[in-house]
């Protein structure tokens, strides 16, 4: 599953831990911690272990949760959809007006 690697790195560094120390505390391998911090990919089991070790909520680690870049992307997509709908309504009104104007002149 995709997680926020920056949050993992921040939590680890805030405690003054090395990657090796985090691996031992979470009961996983050093390679697993390195992969998580580099690629942001972790198994469900690793996410649970990290949450327990850091004493944080699961959704704080998951990519796409509030406050992350993905959450910002979702807001931008929503705004884009609203803008497209408004532009479509405006364009539709303009085309209707034009059709009525041309139709009325003939």
Q: Which residues pair with 2 in a beta bridge?
A: 41
Let me know if residue 92 belongs to a domain. Answer: yes
**Residues 76 and 57 occupy one common structural domain:** no
Task: Give the pLDDT confidence of 29-88 residue by residue, as tens digits.
Answer: 999 999 999 999 999 999 999 999 999 999 999 876 544 444 556 667 777 888 888 888
| Whether 32 and 13 share a structural domain | yes
Whole-model pTM? 0.59
| Domain harbouring 10, CATH code | 1.10.260.40
Domain total for the chain?
2
In a domain, residue 66? The reply is no
Average pLDDT of the segment spanning 16-40? 96
How far apart CA 49 and CA 91 sit, in angstroms, is: 53
Range of the domain at 96: 71-106
Helix axes 44-54, 19-26, angle to 10 degrees: 100
Same domain, 25 and 56: yes
């Amino acid at each position: 599953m995709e997680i926020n690697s920056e949050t993992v790195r921040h939590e680890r560094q805030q405690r003054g831990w090395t990657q090796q120390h985090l691996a031992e505390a979470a009961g996983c391998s050093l390679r697993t911690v390195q992969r998580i911090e580099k690629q942001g990919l972790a198994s469900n089991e690793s996410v649970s272990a990290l949450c327990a070790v850091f004493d944080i909520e699961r959704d704080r680690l998951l990519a796409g949760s509030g406050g992350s870049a993905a959450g910002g992307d979702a807001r931008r997509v929503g705004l884009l959809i609203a803008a497209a709908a408004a532009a479509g309504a405006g364009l539709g009104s303009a085309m209707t007006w034009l059709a009525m104007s041309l139709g009325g002149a003939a």
